[in-house]
Amino acid sequence: MEDVVIQFINRNVSAKEFTKFRVEMQKKHHVSFNNSQLRYVYKTMVARGIIKESKAFESVVKAKGVRELSGVTVFTILTTPFPETGDYLEGFVKGNEYDYRKVNPQTGELRQDFSCPFNCYYCPDESVLNGSDADMPRSYLKDEPAVARAYQNKFETVAQIRDRARSYVVNGIDIDKVEVIVEGGTYTSYPKHYRVKCMRDIFYAFNTMYDPNFVTDPREPLSIEEEIKLNEKATIRVIGITIETRPDSIKPEHIIEFRTCGITRIQIGLQHTDDDILKKINRQCTTADAIAAIKLMKECCFKIDGHLMPDLPFTTYDNDIKMFDRINTDPDLDLDQLKIYPCATVPFTVIKKWYESGKYKPYAEQIIEVEVNGVKKKSTPLIEALIHYKRNTPKRRRNNRIIRDIPTSYIVGGYDKPNLRQIVQDEMKRRGLRCPCIRCREVRDQKTDLAQSRLFVQEYTASGGTEFFISYENEAETVLYGFVRLRLSPDSGAGVFKELEGCALIRELHVYGKMTTVGAKEGGEDVGRVQHFGFGSKLMAEAERIAIERGYSKIAVIAGVGVRDYYRKKGYKDEGHYLVKQLTEERKEGQGASDVSTNLSVIVPLVVVVAVVATLLYSFSKKYHN
C-alpha cells in the first residue's frame, strides 16, 4: 500500500475526493484496506524516512470516531504465572526435563513458582496442579478476554502488545497515544528483575511498532531508561502505565521503582472496609493498610484506583451500604477511581466449596420487592446497593467498572449478568436518578456549546492534605470537558522524593478528546479546531494560581512518558522522577480563572452597549416630551 500513500500525497487528494481515490486504488492494486491500515503504512514510511509527515494526509485519512472520543487507546497485558528471576540454573542442559514452574526449559533461567503469595478465599487459582489444563497468574481465568490473548502469546509482553495492536488496526482504530494496564497476580510480589523487564518491554514494543525490520531483524531492547527516553519522541507514545497490587505490598522502594519505570497509576484491592469480613476471607490486609497506602501514593503524586467487592461471604446488604457510604465520605479513603467487582463464585476458589455446601448465600441471588414512585417492582439487593452507591458518588471520582468481565460459563453463584452496569444505569434513569461520577459525565461525542463552559473548583480534605478538583463543565454540571487534580500537603514527597518536598502536586490532568460545537458540520474544519479548546492550559493555569495563592513557590506534576514534552513547554523542568516548575507572583490577579476573564470580555462591551442605548432612549424621550 506504499504506492497508495505516495499517490495520495503527490495528487494532494482532498476529503471530498478521497472515497473515489480509495476505490480507484483498491481496483488498481486488487486489495481492500481501511483508513487505519493506510495510516499504519503511512507512519511506517515516515519512520523509515521514505516520506515526510503530511498534515493533509492525516486530516483526511482519519481513524474511526470511537478512538477519538478519548484520544487514548488502552492496552491491557497480563504478567506471567511463573516470572523469571534473572538467575540461571547451574549445569543447565537444554533438552533435559525440568519443573517448568521453577526453571525456564528453554534458557535455564530460574523462575518464581507463584504470582501471589497470598490465598484470599474468593480469588481463583487456576493451575494445572488444581485440575486446569493451563496455568494462570493468580486471580485471572483462562477465558477472560485479555487473559486469553495473553495465554496465546505465552504471557510475553511484546507479543501481547503487537497482537492487540493488530486487532485495533484491523478494526480501524488508530494508535498514537496509549495507556497500558498491567494485570496478573500481585505486581509487587514478582521479582524486581521481571518487573523492570516487563516495563522495559512495554516501551520497546511501542518504540518498534512501525519498524519494518522487526519481524526479520528486530533490534535488541535497550535499558529501561533508554527505551523511556526514546518513547518521549516516538510515533506511539505511552502516556500512562497502571499496575495493580495489594495495599500492604507497597513500600517506599517500590514507589521509587514505579517512577523509574514510568508508572503513573496504581490499582489497589480494598475489597471491603470491615476488617472482620477481611479476616474471614483470609485477606491478611486491613483497612488501616489501605489508608496508609493511599496516603503514601497521594504524597508521591500517583493516581489511585481502588477495588471494592460487595456481596462477599459474611457480609450483608446493610454492611455493604455502610462500606459504600464510608468510601464516599471518609477523607482517608478518598479514591480517584473505583472498580466495583461484586463477588462471583467461580472455580478454583475456597468460596466455591462454601457456596456448594450452603455456607455462603450471595444476596445477589435474592429477589426483593421495592417501591419506586408509588409502584412496587422486583429487584435484587445488589442492584439496590449499587444504585445507592452511584447516586452518592463524589463528582471527582471515576467509576471505571461496576462488574468484572468474567465469562458467565465460569460463574457458579452470585451475580451472572455481564451487563450489570447497564442494568443499573437503566434502572436509575427510570427512577429519575443520576450518577455524578466522571465516567457518566464525560463529554464523549455530544454536541455542546463549548463557549458556555464554566470553571468549577471543588476543595476538599483527603489523606491529611487539601485537594482541589478543578474542572470545566457545562452550567448544569452534567457534561465534563476536562479536569485537573491538585494536592497541597505538608507531607508532599512522603520522605521518598526530595524533589517533591514543599511542592504543590498535580496528580492528574485529563482533557477529553473529540468535542463538537453546536452547529459544527460533520467532517467540517470547525470540528477539528475545537478539540481541547485550550482547556488543558486553562486548567493548569488555575492550578498554578491556587498554589501561589496558598503560598507555594513550586509545583510538580507526575507526567506519563509520552506527555513530558507538553509540560516542558509550559515551563516544567525535569527534576528527579518528576517535572517541577518554579512559581512566581508575577501574575495578574485572577489569571488562571479563565472563565472570569472570558466572561468579562463579553460583559464589558455589553455594558457599554447598554449604556449607549440607554442614553439614546433618554435623549429621544426628552425630545419627544418637549
pLDDT band at 1 (very low <50, low <70, confident <90, very high): confident
Residue 523: predicted pLDDT = 46
- Tens-place pLDDT, residues 610-620: 444 445 444 54
- Tens-place pLDDT, residues 397-452: 999 999 998 999 999 999 999 999 999 999 999 999 999 999 999 998 777 788 88
pLDDT band at 312 (very low <50, low <70, confident <90, very high): very high
Residues 6+ apart with CB under 8 A from 555: 503, 504, 505, 506, 543, 544, 547, 580, 581, 583
Note the helical H segments in 364-486: 381-391, 420-430, 438-441
* C-alpha dist (Å) from residue 19 to 33, 169, 498: 12, 19, 57
For residues 125 and 118, the answer to whether their CB atoms sit within 8 Å is: no
- Tens-place pLDDT, residues 251-279: 999 999 999 999 999 999 999 999 999 99
Is the CATH code 3.40.50.300 the one for domain 447-592? no
pLDDT band at 46 (very low <50, low <70, confident <90, very high): confident
Question: 440 versus 520: which is more confidently predicted?
Answer: 440
Residue 573: predicted pLDDT = 98
Residue 586: predicted pLDDT = 53
Domain edges within the chain: 2-62, 81-113, 447-592, 596-626
Question: 594 versus 494: which is more confidently predicted?
Answer: 494
Residue 465: predicted pLDDT = 98
Q: What are phi and psi of 269, to 5 degrees?
A: -95, 105
pLDDT band at 519 (very low <50, low <70, confident <90, very high): very low
Cα 466 to Cα 477: distance, rounded to the nearest angstrom: 22
pTM, whole model, 2 decimals?
A: 0.86
128 pLDDT above the threshold of 70? yes
